[in-house]
Amino acid sequence: MSVRLVVSRQCDEQHEKRCAGSKNHGKKNHLERVDAMTARVSCNDCSLSPICLPLAVRADELEQLDNIIRRGRAMKRGEHLYRAADTFDAVYAVRSGALKTYSVSEEGEEQVTGFYLPGEIVGMDGISTARHVSSAKALETASVCEIPFDRLEFLSSRIPSLQHHFFSLMSREIQADRELHLLVSKKSADDRIAALLISISARHKLRGLSATTFRLPMSRYDIANYLGLAVETVSRTFTRFQQQHILRVEGREVEILDRGALCGAAPREILQQPC
Amino acid sequence: MSVRLVVSRQCDEQHEKRCAGSKNHGKKNHLERVDAMTARVSCNDCSLSPICLPLAVRADELEQLDNIIRRGRAMKRGEHLYRAADTFDAVYAVRSGALKTYSVSEEGEEQVTGFYLPGEIVGMDGISTARHVSSAKALETASVCEIPFDRLEFLSSRIPSLQHHFFSLMSREIQADRELHLLVSKKSADDRIAALLISISARHKLRGLSATTFRLPMSRYDIANYLGLAVETVSRTFTRFQQQHILRVEGREVEILDRGALCGAAPREILQQPC
DNA sequence: CGGCACATTGAGGAAACTCAACAAGTGTGG
DNA sequence: CCACACTTGTTGAGTTTCCTCAATGTGCCG
């Protein structure tokens, strides 16, 4: 039942077309060198496969999926994966590192719309417009797998479970947005920050990492922006949580000392899971 | 200050080329005439077809779609279409009237997550969990067409344009949520209310109804809840808009007197189109 | 007509914002 | 290797927007 996957297949024609149109064209070669190891790992050998796209397909179908994916594009901190108004032709699975998505209003104010950790899919908001409506930026050194959307659609119509999984992913994205809506429109600053911490904690845990100790990939500004708060409020809340022995915070390093208190502050429906 | 909020969750006119095939015969003011006959009208004869699901399929495929749809379920004001935790097995196209969706937090507080007008699709948030995560309730006398989701998935894998349209719909839902996020987390009460009014106005216009004079299907409480405000704030804002001759308000009847002021007081690029 | 949900208006208070200053960490170039 | 600019984060003081509480008005339905 196991399928051996060809490591290479890096440059099929779709890929070339895409590269040609990409603004980041110039960086490609450099980046592929940088990440030579991870770039070549097939889905089959990827540790993220249980929580990433491959979970939706049977082993014997995985090769088809594997073939359309361009793996391991490396990104440096601050680099853009795509920008608002870029043509949409792919979605991306985060392989390592972390990204944020954001849009910019006409006055130039930024709105952070999401944070993405390994195994999560970025870029689904551009489907309807054929252009990205937001931008995606690496919060730290990261790498992503590119999944050309037209091919994914084609494959989806052949593999029902993949189609379903993709509907499912988008549905989950909607759910998450609704929970965020509740958070931002009804909850206090404390609740919002607690909820974000718990969410990140849970996502770390899902990846087999510590649920209590982790490094926040984003700045206070990003947190504040995402949650609809002022930076100062975020900072003060962290300080207070620390005084109350709920957290230990040192810059971006966080240790959750009293999960119960956090959960109490943050309603649990935000987490989709018991605290 | 500026806000972005989509004109319509699902049915703006910038659709894929695929929709070119659908004929739009007489899309007049049918929406207001809720006659008993509507229950039996096939998609083919439905005045909403240019902005509803049928726009995604060719004429010769429409019959297949038509066959899986259970049409014209009538609902009375306050009646539920589904409730959170109900098993998810269908999505619904609003045929007439209006619905709201909402979830209830553990503390029992309600969070209104969306308003749905004729031609829009409700219920897509339940796909990933196989259960609805929110409830949908009629704001007034309404009727909906039920679309069993497993059949829709099956059909989607046969009709690429339908699959794409559905991805597109969900993507648009995500976009709308992101814009709402910006609105709620960054904008003033004035801006939020202005943006909602403009959104509803635009959606009415798209349906061939007046963009300046319309009746809000939802209560002040729902508006406040949706926008993350107190009812009193909504009320006061309406009053002030009226004093400033931006609106004429009489209960739920609204007339937009100064669209420019609305757009400026809240934003012009809400619409991705001139205001 | 009363009962009830919905809506408006006023007064006072509080959570979070803005402004401002400062501290610490990061990177760049001389 | 240090000086300097710059970004990021923290803390304080005063202000503002919006919320809460409370009272009253209005329309609808049995």
Contact B186 A124 (CB under 8 A): no
How many angstroms is C1' of D27 away from CA of B211? Answer: 26
Nearest protein residue to the C1' atom of D7, measured from CA: A219
Per-residue pLDDT tens, chain A, 275 aa: give them. Answer: 333 323 332 333 333 333 333 333 333 333 333 444 445 678 888 889 899 988 989 988 999 999 999 988 899 999 999 999 999 999 999 999 999 999 998 777 899 999 999 999 999 989 999 999 999 999 999 999 999 999 999 999 999 999 999 999 999 999 999 999 999 999 999 999 999 999 999 999 999 999 999 999 999 999 999 999 999 999 999 999 999 999 999 989 999 999 998 987 665 444 445 56
Residue B137: name the closest of B194, B80, B98 by CA: B80
Q: How many helices (H) and strands (E) does chain A have?
A: 10, 11
d(CA B124, CA A113): 20
- A160 contact residues in B (CB cutoff 8 A): 153-154, 157
Q: Does the pLDDT of residue B20 top 50, yes or no? A: no
Q: Does the pLDDT of residue B221 top 70, yes or no? A: yes
- A186 contact residues in B (CB cutoff 8 A): 105, 109, 111, 228
User: A87 in contact with B at a CB cutoff of 8 Å?
Assistant: no
- What confidence score (pLDDT) does residue A41 get? 75
Q: Does the pLDDT of residue B38 top 60, yes or no? A: no
- What confidence score (pLDDT) does residue B263 get? 84
Alpha helices (H) along chain B: 59-68, 149-158, 160-186, 189-206, 220-227, 231-243, 259-265
Supply the pTM of this predicted model.
0.85
- What confidence score (pLDDT) does residue B71 get? 86
Handedness of CA A238, A244, A248, A254 (dihedral sign): negative
Residue A216 Rama label (left phi>0; alpha psi -120 to 50; beta) = beta
Q: Does the pLDDT of residue B274 top 70, yes or no? A: no
Which tens digit of pLDDT belongs to each residue from B129-142? 999 999 999 999 99
Q: Does the pLDDT of residue B272 top 90, yes or no? A: no
- Pair A202, A273: CB distance under 8 Å: yes
DSSP string, B162-185: HHHHHHHHHHHHHHHHHHHHHHHH
Q: Does the pLDDT of residue B9 top 50, yes or no? A: no
CB-CB neighbours of A119 under 10 Å: 21
Residue B256: name the closest of B273, B271, B244 by CA: B244
* Structural element, H or E, at residue A262: helix A259-265
Q: Tell me the average pLDDT of chain B.
A: 84
- What confidence score (pLDDT) does residue B77 get? 93
Q: Which of residues 217-246 of B touch A (CB under 8 A)?
A: 226-228
- What confidence score (pLDDT) does residue A34 get? 41
- B269 contact residues in A (CB cutoff 8 A): 105-106
- What confidence score (pLDDT) does residue B34 get? 43
For testing the chain B interface, which of A181, A191, A193, A263 should be mutated: the one with the most B CBs within 10 Å?
Answer: A181
